[in-house]
Structure 1
């Protein structure tokens, strides 16, 4: 488990003062844990001994042990597919090794991918998931989704479903003038769904900051190391990325998107069914396949 996962899992066993430490950590993760005990205590509005008791409850032997775990995560947070491939490929040029990997490909996939999906769904915070579904199902809000180099595919997948079941959902426009027009009018009736995974992209953080500053809601889907956007997000949904290659898997994130879609359908009920029927009819009337 990452430090963030240990914090979230341990909050229910903590005193109110210790929970403040955990929330302070998650609000500015991981930076809040990389300073001193006194600094973290000040952020949480509590004392140094309370910080240490909280860390002990999570299983850390002390503050140095806790910070060492964070520093190890920082290395993972910035890993690229190339660095992962290089770290794993000391004998990658060996023909025998490559043949073995090809032979094990399906077996590895059967083991790794279902386990990562299962762990993601087991570890999703129920309150966060419910909050995300309620926001996405609210007919009074306008939804915009965006992602990164690969995760924009997930944003588009979500939006295409929301267009059918509730309307007022769109992908952040590629056209500069359309993007500026949308960002100019962001307000309290808007919800941003942002997908941001390791090697977190600065434009995504800037976009989330814009929505938060304008009083809109931000739903963040991220990996277990937590995007910097978590500091301004109203809802944080972490997913696994364990993969059988040097590229992080998006399968667990796709599973989460399908859970969100199912939740919106359930909440919207008859409204969703009517919208879907009307959507189908207008598609037929205008030859939209």
Structure 2
């Protein structure tokens, strides 16, 4: 039994068990495709997601050399702890002064890193999948709920604000436990949750994704790491590149993702939007100052 189980080691162990039964093949494929998330799964979650029985999971893990699901998860967590993202305070402490490096050089280096993120994003993005999400959100019978904790709040706010130009039923969820339940009244299976969560995982956002999953609503998670607890309850997950060799991970691709999705939603909506009505409301309330108001 391996105390630290990475994907390469798992593939090697699994290869020795072939030929698989049909259920084992389905379980193996799911484990490979979602390896970074598995440490957050319970055995019931894994059984439901992989569409196999708990008994199948138990027998399969025994064949791999693990006494049960708990031992398997322990090996995954041991490996995961070696690959956790560095917290900003740790990165700050570890940062050494750059020798003989001027500001223009470092600024251009940083911009170059961001360009690489954009290229990686363009290469890895599944456009067809994103278009399906846009079509789902363009359906005005649905309510779109948006949530984002801490620094991800900016992504959630930007997205929910501009989405209202395309549709009216958009709810930016509060993270105040006293206010949140009132915002969730009436959630049903046709609704959509978009959860933004970078780097650190928020237990309340995890509960929100779990709640929407229990209502059989569509859940999309936008994050920057494959290893996260939200994926257990999500239908679709977008893992966006963010590492720019800096103390803080970049949200640049997060905003690019948001604006691309807004573009696709607007395209799917055609001319059925809220621009005229919003403009009239802005004028009525004098929301924005301009040359016509003196």
**TM bucket normalised to smaller:** 0.7 to 0.9
* Residues 242 and 250 in structure 2, CA contact (< 8 A), matched pair in contact too: yes
* Residues 73 and 225 in structure 1, CA contact (< 8 A), matched pair in contact too: no
How is 1:211-222 mapped onto 2 (pairs within 5 angstroms)?
211-222=212-223
| Comparing 103-112 and 203-212, the one that deviates more | 103-112
> 1:23 Cα deviation (Å)?
2.7
Shift in alpha-carbon separation, 1:28–1:202, aligned structure 2, 3 A? farther
Return 5+ residue gaps in structure 2 as ranges: 1-5, 12-19, 42-46, 65-74, 289-294
Return 5+ residue gaps in structure 1 as ranges: 8-14, 53-66
Write 1 or 2 for the structure with the bigger share of helix: 1
**1:79 correspondence with 2:78:** no
* Residues 31 and 38 in structure 2, CA contact (< 8 A), matched pair in contact too: no
Alignment correspondent of 2:162? 161
> 1:277 Cα deviation (Å)?
1.8
Question: SS at the partner of 1:194?
Answer: strand
Alignment correspondent of 2:191? 190
Shift in alpha-carbon separation, 1:74–1:199, aligned structure 2, 3 A? farther
* Residues 119 and 240 in structure 1, CA contact (< 8 A), matched pair in contact too: yes
Alignment correspondent of 1:143? 144
* Residues 197 and 227 in structure 1, CA contact (< 8 A), matched pair in contact too: no
Question: SS at the partner of 2:184?
Answer: helix
Question: SS at the partner of 1:166?
Answer: coil
* Residues 37 and 231 in structure 2, CA contact (< 8 A), matched pair in contact too: no
Alignment correspondent of 2:207? 206
* Residues 196 and 227 in structure 1, CA contact (< 8 A), matched pair in contact too: no
Shift in alpha-carbon separation, 1:115–1:184, aligned structure 2, 3 A? same
Shift in alpha-carbon separation, 1:71–1:104, aligned structure 2, 3 A? farther
In 1, distance between residues paired with 2:40 and 2:163?
38
**CA RMSD between the two structures:** 3.6
> 1:147 Cα deviation (Å)?
0.9
Shift in alpha-carbon separation, 1:159–1:260, aligned structure 2, 3 A? same
The higher radius of gyration belongs to: 2
Alignment correspondent of 1:123? 124
Q: How many residues align?
A: 252
Alignment correspondent of 2:242? 241
Shift in alpha-carbon separation, 1:137–1:181, aligned structure 2, 3 A? same
Instruction: Tell me the TM-score normalized by structure 1.
Output: 0.73
In 1, distance between residues paired with 2:33 and 2:244?
25
**1:276 correspondence with 2:283:** no
Shift in alpha-carbon separation, 1:156–1:98, aligned structure 2, 3 A? farther
Shift in alpha-carbon separation, 1:25–1:101, aligned structure 2, 3 A? farther
Q: Show CA shifts across 1:84-128 (max 9, x none).
A: 2334x2xx2x5xx26616343222122100110221122123343
How is 1:1-289 mapped onto 2 (pairs within 5 angstroms)?
21-26=28-33, 29-31=36-38, 74-87=81-94, 89=95, 92=96, 94=97, 97=98, 100=101, 102-173=103-174, 176-272=177-273, 275-289=274-288
In 2, distance between residues paired with 1:148 and 1:26?
27
